[in-house]
Amino acid sequence: MPPSDDLPARVGGLNDWYRLNSATSVLRHALTSPETGRLALVSSFGAEAVVLLHMVSVIDRTTPVIFLDTELLFAETLVYQQEVAERLGLRDVRIVRADRAEVARTDPEQTLHRHDTDACCALRKTRPLARALDGFDGWITGRKRYHGGARAALDFFETEEGTGRMKINPLAFWRREDMQTYMEENRLPRHPLVARGYPSIGCMPCTTPISSPDEDPRAGRWRNTEKTECGIHLVDGKLVRTGESA
């Protein structure tokens, strides 16, 4: 395991070195370099997830892939997850769910999302992911700057405050057009809900279609609220981007 006390310095150095490199170069380095340690890819198997999943399958299909099944997902997402994992030959997909006893105690009727979305996300995403990442030195995400909001200033490499882990965002600088082109050139299967107006797909109760192609791609997530992130990319409610060079 890489030493954690120099993580901000390593993150800054990696961002300086790879600033003009491609997403594939960043991902390949992350998966093969001792600087990054043992990594997992955390994937929603959502609207754009197949791009990064495909890249990982080409470089190292034994990479652990963590899929958070909140048990509130669209049925289409669950089917798509199985189809994509099989098609890409991913060999270590880990389906992670909330602690059964905790769910029975705090959300037995699956209604928590109606009055406290943050608590629901913490129960079904944040805490299960924290347990799943135990033992890993970092994790790979599919976040991109063009998503806007708190993601608009993403860099390739980040530190995760309080965990000593690194976060890698290989697609940080890609545009929506880049994603579409990659899917088309590699003939990758699309999430079926994309054709029905869902450019960003989360849990069924908290996701709606967008109203027009010009609307923010994440506008359908927690619509009509101030919430923009589920919490797995936040610490104390704030986006964490420490140790970056820009």
Strands 234-235 and 238-239: antiparallel
Distances from the Cα of 40 to the Cαs of 4, 101, 223, in angstroms? 17, 26, 30
Distances from the Cα of 159 to the Cαs of 18, 137, 192, 208, 235, in angstroms? 16, 11, 34, 32, 11
Q: Which residues contact 93 (CB under 8 A, 6 or more apart)?
A: 65, 67, 81, 85
3-state DSSP call for residue 168? strand
- How far is residue 129 CA from its own chain's centroid? 11
Determine the Cα–Cα distance for residues 7 and 190; give it in Å rounded to an integer: 36
Tallying the residues shown for the chain, one arrives at 246
**Structure-block tokens of residue 159:** 């530190």
Among 120, 121, 203, 230, the one annotated catalytic: 230
Active site residue 121: no
3-state DSSP call for residue 94? strand
Determine the Cα–Cα distance for residues 192 and 211; give it in Å rounded to an integer: 18
- With b for 16 or more beta-carbon neighbours within 10 A and e for fewer, the 47-59 pattern comes to bbbbbbbbbbbee
As a whole number of Å, the end-to-end CA separation of the chain is 26
* Residues carrying an active site annotation: 230
